[in-house]
Amino acid sequence: MESELAVEAIEAFDDNYIWLLTREGYDGCAVVDPGDDKPVRKALKKRGLHLDAILVTHKHGDHVGGIAGLKKKWPDAVVYGPAHEPIKDIDVKLGASDSVELNGLGVSFDVLDVPGHTEGHIAYFTNDLLFCGDTLFACGCGRVFSGTFEQLSDSLQTLAELPADTLVYCAHEYTLVNIGFAKWVEPDNPDLITREERVIAQREAGQPSVPSVLGEEMLTNPFMRTDEASVIEAAERWAGHPLQSRREVFRALRTWKDRDYD
């Protein structure tokens, strides 16, 4: 029986996760969003692995800064990334409806367009695994930089349509901070309180809080709950006027967090 894809975190900078994809019995691998090549090189050397592929979600330096160094070490590694962002060293440019076949790892990814954090951000989905960069965080979402609020709101709804048991591999350890803001929005949400207790225990034990589960995001992440009465009420209270759509609620929540919390 063929072994399953394994995913593990390579820590980088203060709070980044570079995701390492491997399969037992195969000496190749792939990485997602390598902002720094040094921890990747160290991890692969320790495991005796060679690099087949690099998957990139968006253009920011803490996600692409290690590509050149990795290509120098493994020049045959194929770099996949968004078609609509200015990223050097991309070999295969991707957009919605494209797929990525990593035959050595026995996996095929569907590519999703999820702009908003940046103008051309993409995500990679296979079976119950989602690599979403900075679009969706555990109990939060990315800031709006070179995209728009409307794009990011719509992108989160695109991700909300994936199966509830999807494991969400975002690129940062921001969960406890994000929970703090979520409690501003829904202080009486029992699922959120339970989640906070679990994440505190995970972090005190030195464990990552990622991946999260999409179904739990739908219960606790205010940016995924912009049609919930309690979230709408909190957003309208902060905005000081009625909000007419999920996009408007999202804009209010994201602006509130940017101005008053972060």
Write out pLDDT tens, residues 231-251.
999 999 999 999 999 999 999
| CATH number for the domain that contains residue 180 | 3.60.15.10
pLDDT digits (tens, 9 = 90+) for 149-164: 999 999 999 999 999 9
Position 67 scores a pLDDT of 98
Check if 84 is active-site.
no
E strands, the chain, in order: 5-12, 16-23, 28-32, 50-55, 78-82, 92-94, 99-102, 107-113, 122-126, 129-133, 136-137, 140-141, 167-170, 212-213
Check if 91 is active-site.
no
Position 222 scores a pLDDT of 98
Check if 63 is active-site.
yes
**3 pLDDT above the threshold of 70:** no
**94 pLDDT above the threshold of 50:** yes
CA distance 262 to 256: 9
Beta bridge partners of 110: 99, 125
| DSSP states of 68-137 | HHHHHH-TTPEEEEETTS--TT-SEEE-TT-EEEEGGGTEEEEEEE--SSSTT-EEEEETTEEEEETTEE
Check if 241 is active-site.
no
CA distance 220 to 92: 36
Position 1 scores a pLDDT of 36
pLDDT digits (tens, 9 = 90+) for 170-203: 999 999 999 999 999 999 999 999 999 999 999 9
**104 pLDDT above the threshold of 90:** yes
What integer best gives the mean pLDDT of the chain?
97
Check if 58 is active-site.
yes
Position 234 scores a pLDDT of 98
Position 9 scores a pLDDT of 98
Among 60, 154, 241, 258, the one annotated catalytic:
60
Check if 50 is active-site.
no
Among 37, 52, 117, 121, the one annotated catalytic:
117
Total Cβ atoms within 10 A of residue 149: 17
Check if 134 is active-site.
yes
Beta bridge partners of 255: none
Pair 111, 93: CB distance under 8 Å: no
Position 46 scores a pLDDT of 97
Closest by Cα among 46, 38, 3, 4 to 18: 38
Share of the chain above pLDDT 90, in %: 98
**144 pLDDT above the threshold of 50:** yes
Position 249 scores a pLDDT of 98
Pair 64, 12: CB distance under 8 Å: no
Among 33, 52, 58, 121, the one annotated catalytic:
58
Could you list the residue range(s) of the whole structural domain that residue 202 is in? 5-261
Q: How many domains does the chain have?
A: 1
Beta bridge partners of 22: 6
Among 63, 84, 121, 262, the one annotated catalytic:
63
CA distance 131 to 145: 20
